[in-house]
Amino acid sequence: MNILDQILDLKRQEVDQIQDTEFGDLVGQIRSLKEALSSPGISIIAEIKMKSPSEGEILPNADPVQIAKEYESAGAAAISVLTDQSFFGGSLDILKSVRDAVSIPVIRKDFIIDEKQIPETVHYHGDAFLLIADALDQDTLQQLMNDGKKAGLEFLVEYHDEKHAEFIFVLNPEIVGINCRNLKTMTTDISYFKKMFQSLPSTSIKVAESGIYTPKDLKTVSDLGYDAALIGTSLMKTRNPGKALEALLGATS
């Protein structure tokens, strides 16, 4: 069983424990991720990630709220928060705390596989959520997109395997991401961004995810035509993520 299968197996067990009546009223004014990523130049979605299957512990005892504030100050257009606890060390409470501490959109990054996770996302003040095509069949992906729209949330649809390209093109999501991480081995290959760019819907906001470490990497994806980059591990590993983002943006401005 590869890492993705392990994660999804546990996630199904977690979803089974979610009670439909647990969340009460859906509250909060949604901040538009689409608008945040539509500015000229390449926008940064800065990620808060405590650990990962490929890296293990990344930044132990980190203060997510302080990191979020520093990301915003450094120029992030949006913040991504890992809410999976078992594999990534996150939580929904972190999502809420971060969102309440900044004024830019905050994305819930998790393995969203069931409609019950969408009102849960709103309850914890997420503005948007991630949908991973590689973790879903086509019907479920379409349904979760529809459910997200009904809840007033925006979403980033990402895929890793090129076999999903045709279906994603037909779906034409407003925000679509290419993740250059192999979900079976957890390794990254930045050349994948070039290979897949032409397969993306022309009207979508295009996000390059994973594998971006240097100003050269960021310039590469910008020159290819991506509108945004999601960067997490490389910032968190510096032990001073906000300063690292500031330096990265300063070197590419």
Q: Closest Cα to residue 181, out of 120, 102, 104, 234?
A: 234
The one catalytic residue among 11, 51, 96, 109: 109
Task: Verify whether residue 109 is a known catalytic residue.
Answer: yes
Task: Verify whether residue 246 is a known catalytic residue.
Answer: no
Residue pair 106/98 in contact by the 8 Å Cβ criterion:
yes
Task: Verify whether residue 158 is a known catalytic residue.
Answer: yes
Q: Closest Cα to residue 80, out of 108, 40, 116, 54?
A: 108
Task: Verify whether residue 240 is a known catalytic residue.
Answer: no
Task: Verify whether residue 47 is a known catalytic residue.
Answer: yes
Q: Which two tokens stand for residue 151?
A: 């809840």
The one catalytic residue among 49, 51, 96, 206: 49
DSSP, res 133: G
Task: Verify whether residue 2 is a known catalytic residue.
Answer: no
Q: Where are the beta strands (DSSP E) in the chain?
A: 43-48, 51-52, 56-57, 78-82, 106-109, 128-132, 154-159, 175-179, 205-209, 228-231
Q: Which residues contact 5 (CB under 8 A, 6 or more apart)?
A: none
The one catalytic residue among 70, 72, 120, 209: 209
Number of Cβ within 10 Å of residue 140's Cβ equals 16
The one catalytic residue among 11, 43, 47, 70: 47
Q: Which residues contact 185 (CB under 8 A, 6 or more apart)?
A: 2
The one catalytic residue among 43, 80, 182, 210: 210
Task: Verify whether residue 209 is a known catalytic residue.
Answer: yes
CA–CA dist 229, 231 (Å, integer):
6
CA 212 → CA 184, 189, 196, 235, distances in Å? Answer: 19, 10, 16, 9
The one catalytic residue among 115, 158, 204, 206: 158
The one catalytic residue among 80, 179, 182, 234: 179
Which residues are catalytic, by number? 47, 49, 109, 158, 179, 209-210
